[in-house]
Structure 1
């Protein structure tokens, strides 16, 4: 039977799966979705609206190499590839990667299973465009710094990083999942070789009292 509340199901899995590491619960979630026991809460069947709006506004187009972090069902990855980028996409869940390949059988995206906190060395400093949409926030706060640094480490010289994340104030409790990012955490993406180009808060259409970050960084 399918769970009537996929968000609650995901939160329960995350709470039960701390022994599997900060993102180990994703595999259990995608396996449950494949078995028909739940749905993936963030599977919109379309790329994230903030990604498409930003790409349209900036006339984003290849050529170049792109990386999509935490690619899930693959909608963001397929959109990025459609812009002319040679696209790699990874997720910590092998089941999610298999599902994305089945959903997009003619895809030119190179889908791979990988752990953000233990990335393959050839990927480092390797991409002209990196898209990080809602992945760092899927980990408990104690792992945010390491995850942010790992994402930033994917950007090649001259490349750009787009970050989309739920926002919270420093004083707000983080009792996720998700564990939204504070302004200080977003600014951490620029602690190394990246410089901030754009940092904006956008209201969430379904919940105007909530906001999401859209931040752009360049190396």
Structure 2
């Protein structure tokens, strides 16, 4: 039922001025019933964990930003890897739950709209994680969202994008809307370079096609 409710809300808010306000409605309705939020696994995204294990990366001395952090599990994972983490969500309820779940967290949790972020975040982060946010947004908001995400990356910094994937000829269906490879090309149009593009099926039942892409902003100084 949780996915059906999320899809219902996403459809209701399509085309509205406050097209992203449904996220707060969903989290507020869920309260502490975390299972009512369809992407809330209360554990780090396995597609993120798997990538870090393969790369054997440390975040010591580096800054990280988590886009659309939800209940905070990915942010806490990055903090455990040594990053100084800022994590944000448009939902004040989600951020309140992050702070309640992780009382002694070193993560800075903030209520922020991806489409209207602080100016101080421009090119401020060594690592940016975008996991499942783009696919939850209305398609007409995707370009603006990608532009904002790209702006957060410091010179020589990286952004890791994890999303459902599809072919252009496939029906996008309901939210979550799988991305196409041309959708992601905007990152490169904005000056980032693709270092890794993985197109694979995950271990869910049934398996879900995923794109996992690493982009880097070259330091031209």
TM range (shorter): over 0.9
Q: How does 1:59-208 map to 2 (within 5 A)?
A: 59-62=56-59, 63-207=61-205
Counterpart check, 1:9 vs 2:9: no
Q: 1:216 & 1:208 partners in 2: Cα distance? A: 25
Q: Is the 8 A contact 2:35 2:41 kept in 1?
A: no
Q: CA 1:83–1:36 in 2, change beyond 3 Å: closer, same or farther?
A: closer
Q: 1:64 & 1:206 partners in 2: Cα distance? A: 32
Q: Which runs of 4+ in 1 moved over 6 A?
A: none
Report the counterpart of residue 45 of structure 1 in structure 2: 42
SS of the aligned residue for 2:163 comes to strand
Q: 1:84 & 1:106 partners in 2: Cα distance? A: 15
Report how many residues are paired.
Answer: 215
**Where do 5+ consecutive residues of structure 1 fail to align?**
none
Quick one: which of 15, 22, 25 aligns to 1:25? 22
SS of the aligned residue for 2:77 comes to helix
Quick one: which of 51, 61, 80 aligns to 1:54? 51
Q: CA 1:203–1:161 in 2, change beyond 3 Å: closer, same or farther?
A: same
Q: Is the 8 A contact 2:43 2:73 kept in 1?
A: yes
Q: Is the 8 A contact 2:34 2:40 kept in 1?
A: no
Q: 1:193 & 1:211 partners in 2: Cα distance? A: 27
Q: TM-score, normalised by structure 1?
A: 0.93
* RMSD of aligned residue pairs (Cα, Å): 1.6
Shift of 1:65: 0.6
